[in-house]
Amino acid sequence: MRIAVIRHRPNYFDDLDFLARFRLSKNTVETLLDEVCEDLVYPTSRNNCLTPQQQLLLARRYYANGNFFNCCW
């Protein structure tokens, strides 16, 4: 039997370069999250699913620069 490894997910709201990373202010993201939160909630907590905040930030990251990785300029 394999042991499940659950990695810590960072809280990006504590990140200093939030605006550069997601191209929206924290207040705007919180307002947007209030609008779409109900559609992003999973009915279960199995498999350590992503929170609505994490889902929104992941989508914003992709929309901001076209990939999921940090870009080095």
pLDDT by residue (tens digit) across 17-61? 888 888 889 999 999 999 998 888 887 767 677 888 888 988 888
Q: How far apart are CA 17 and CA 67, in angstroms?
A: 17
Quote the pLDDT of residue 30.
92
* Residue 42 within any structural domain of the chain: yes
Alpha-carbon dihedral angle through residues 49, 20, 30, 50, given to the nearest 10 degrees: 0
Q: Evaluate if residue 72 carries a pLDDT over 70.
A: no
* Residue 61 within any structural domain of the chain: yes
Residue 26: which domain range? 12-65
* Residue 50 within any structural domain of the chain: yes
- The domain tally of the chain equals 1
* Residue 45 within any structural domain of the chain: yes
Quote the pLDDT of residue 34.
93
Q: How far apart are CA 34 and CA 52, in angstroms?
A: 10
* Residue 5 within any structural domain of the chain: no
Position with higher pLDDT, 7 vs 53: 53
* Residue 3 within any structural domain of the chain: no
Predicted confidence band at 11 (pLDDT cuts at 50, 70, 90)?
Answer: confident
